[in-house]
Amino acid sequence: MGARVGGTVSGKLLFLVVSVVAALLAWSMARYWLVSVSFPDKYIHVIDIGVVLITGVAATVTLVRLVAGPVAARAGPTHTNTVKLLFRLVGLSVVVIALIFLSGPTGSSFVSALVGVGFFGIVLGLAAQDVLGNLFSGLMILAARPFNINDRIAVVTWQFGKFPPSLAHGWLEPAYTGVVKGITLSYTRILTDSNWLLKVPNSIIAQSLILSLSHGRQGIISAQFEVPIRIEPEDLRKKLTSELSKVTEFKGEEDSFEMLEVSPAGYLVSTTYLVAKQTERQMKTILLTAVRELLKQFDEKQ
């Protein structure tokens, strides 16, 4: 099976190389004919740039797609993402360098090309500081590896505030929690626990505090809710445990149970449970359902 896949990829790579060479040869023949019929040089030069741009981008995109599958099968999603990112970066860099050389005043002068490179670098650095910042931050993330693809993390950053909580103690930290889905040249994609897909600029990720929630074998889920003052905390704890025991799918171990606030009408309770990794969302749904049923029982007794 591995030999078959390797052979298939090699064949596709060979076909890609032949296609690129054929495209460039075809344009060379067409260019020679245009020159022979005295077609304006400035238009030929513009077509040169277009051919290099289209061929280079198409070859880069195709090459990334070809190498992604085999790398994913052998090295996993994190290394696949890194390889794809580096191939895109190298491919687009080659295209940009070729365009800079073609954009020289004479189209072929090495000195003029170097002048063009210097001028282009200055303009690009001034006009695209944010873009370049995200690019280099993405490379730093890939090198430092603060997290991997499919890791569950919490991003704490001052640049983006979270939506206000419904309860006074709704936050333990101002974090966006979710699973890392990919790292591109500009953004890191995170699927949050609320099923929102965040695209966070790499420069923000590089400056943020990253909490790795995939470290270790257990995750933590929590719930906060208010109960009538007449309910004894110990009775509440026993009833919640009883409700959870009725659900065979719930696999959690109580970690804490405490009162956060007390008022004349009731008190605020916070409870946390240790659960298996990758089951946090499912277990939290079960926990909140049990809390809801418990609160309904209290309302019926009033």
Residue 61 has φ and ψ, to the nearest 5°, of: -60, -45
Of 212, 232, 248, the residue that ends a domain is: 212
- The whole domain housing 97 covers 2-127
- Per-residue pLDDT at 211 exceeds 70: yes
Residue 255 has pLDDT above 80, yes or no: yes
3-class SS of residue 217: coil
Number of structural domains found in the chain = 3
pLDDT, position 127: 45
Q: Is residue 62 part of a domain?
A: yes
- Say what percent of the chain tops pLDDT 90: 5
Structure tokens at 212: 């790795």
Amino acid present at 8: T
72-81, 115-124, 199-208: least confident range: 115-124
- pLDDT above 70 covers a percentage of the chain that reads 68
123 and 12 together in one domain: yes
Spatial distance between the Cα atoms of 129 and 179, rounded to a whole number of angstroms? 28
Q: Each residue of 70-92: pLDDT tens digit?
A: 655 555 565 666 666 776 777 77
Give a yes or no: residue 41 inside a domain. yes
Strand partners, 178: 153, 192
Q: Is residue 202 part of a domain?
A: yes
SS3 121: helix
pTM, entire model: 0.48
Domain end point (choices 192, 212, 232) = 212
Confidence class for position 286, pLDDT limits 50, 70, 90: very high
In a domain, 61, yes or no: yes
Q: Using CA atoms, how far apart are residues 48 and 42, in angstroms rounded to an integer?
A: 10
Specify the 3-state DSSP secondary structure of 234: helix
Q: What is the mean pLDDT of the chain?
A: 75
Least Cα distance to 86 among 12, 182, 9, 184 occurs for 184
pLDDT in tens, 215-235: 666 778 888 889 888 889 899
Q: How far is CA 171 from CA 154, 259, 267, in A?
A: 12, 15, 18
Residues 286 and 196 in one domain: no
**Confidence class for position 4, pLDDT limits 50, 70, 90:** very low
